[in-house]
Amino acid sequence: SWWEYYMPLRDLPLQYRVAFIFYVCLTIFGVLNVVTGVFVDTAMQANIKCRHVVIRDALEAKKKLLKELKNVFFEMDENSDGIVTREEFDEKLQDEQVIAYFKSLNLDVTDTRTLFRLIDSDNSASIDVMEFLNGCYDLQGEARSIDAKIMKMQLQRLLGISERMLERTNALGPAGPIPKTC
């Protein structure tokens, strides 16, 4: 206890007692500062570990999802040729379990034709396993505002290109101007 060390200073002048109290306060402040530093360092290390855990969990979840999607693909591929045709796709999307699985991914399976075209990235009228995995993974989840803004930006760019093409075509031809439809 600091009091035991302070008692002998009672008979000394005031400045010694004040110096002693100042020393005690400074020592306590220093110890608290070190303890706080240890807690902060521990929290920072835990945060770094948590970040690694979150990244690892996200990668494991992606791996699990892709494995499940691969299983769904092979269920759809009835003739085991590694390709899912439009007919196989439509037929399998009549199965309640497959519908429920796609709904769990927030994929709307009511319009199978559009969904098939979105997944068929090479427009071959058939889907291989990589197209299926990439397409379903990219389409899963809710549309975000950034997705809508990207689409709007791309549509504006295409509209600008088509307007410039129309102007050039109108400027070229003696057959008369082409009516503007937009």
Average pLDDT estimate for 143-149: 66
Q: Which helix (H) or strand (E) holds 51?
A: helix 14-76
Compute the distance between CA of residue 173 and CA of residue 182 in angstroms, rounded to an integer: 20
Compute the distance between CA of residue 74 and CA of residue 17 in angstroms, rounded to an integer: 85
Compute the distance between CA of residue 115 and CA of residue 107 in angstroms, rounded to an integer: 9
pLDDT computed for residue 172 by the predictor: 79
Tell me the pLDDT tens digit for each residue of 25-39.
999 999 999 999 998
State the chain's mean pLDDT as an integer.
84
Tell me the pLDDT tens digit for each residue of 73-94.
888 888 889 899 888 888 888 8
Query: Number of H helices and number of E strands within the chain?
Result: 7, 2
pLDDT computed for residue 128 by the predictor: 92
Average pLDDT estimate for 167-180: 70
Which is more confidently placed, 58 or 2?
A: 58
Q: Which helix (H) or strand (E) holds 128?
A: strand 126-128
